[in-house]
Amino acid sequence: MTRFLSTKDGASIEPALVQAMKDYDAAQLHGDRAELERLVAPDYLIVRPAGLGDRASLIRNVAGTGIKTDPFMIVQPFTRNFGGTVITGGWCDLHGTDNGKYWEQKTRFADVWTKREGRWWVVMTTLTPSEHP
């Protein structure tokens, strides 16, 4: 997976957020419940084609025994830095297994990160089906 260290306008992203993004990516790939609980805000919202989800549904789906995501590359990454809120995203071709059955999803995504009480939390994710840009 590839992430990005500065925004399009050249503003730097602080190292603590860069580390949180790396940890979040790894937690999703490995189904690491403890890391997801540490990084996903209590009021987290995910917007996806199937509807809305919350922190509990994300953690249940990612850290449960059924869904596994293979490593992927983020294409056309973007970052927008608004100080205490940073939006990161791009396009990726996700694939893996769901209870042993292969799945694939081509998607654009955006993660919204916010700094609360001195640490970074992912507070929202959007997923939109999309062919390669």
Q: Are 109 and 126 in contact (CB under 8 A)?
A: yes
The residue that leads in pLDDT, 69 or 109, is 109
pLDDT tens digits for range 101-128: 998 989 999 999 999 999 999 999 999 9
Q: How far apart are CA 133 and CA 110, in angstroms?
A: 15
pLDDT tens digits for range 6-44: 444 445 788 999 999 999 999 998 889 999 999 999 999
Q: Is the pLDDT of residue 59 over 90?
A: yes
- Indicate whether this model's pTM tops 0.85: yes
Indicate the length of the chain as a whole number.
Answer: 133
- CB-based contacts of 57-63 (< 8 A; 24+ apart in sequence): 58/125, 59/33, 62/27, 62/28, 62/31, 62/36, 63/31, 63/32, 63/33, 63/36
Strands 40-48 and 119-129: parallel
pLDDT tens digits for range 79-105: 999 989 999 999 999 899 888 899 898
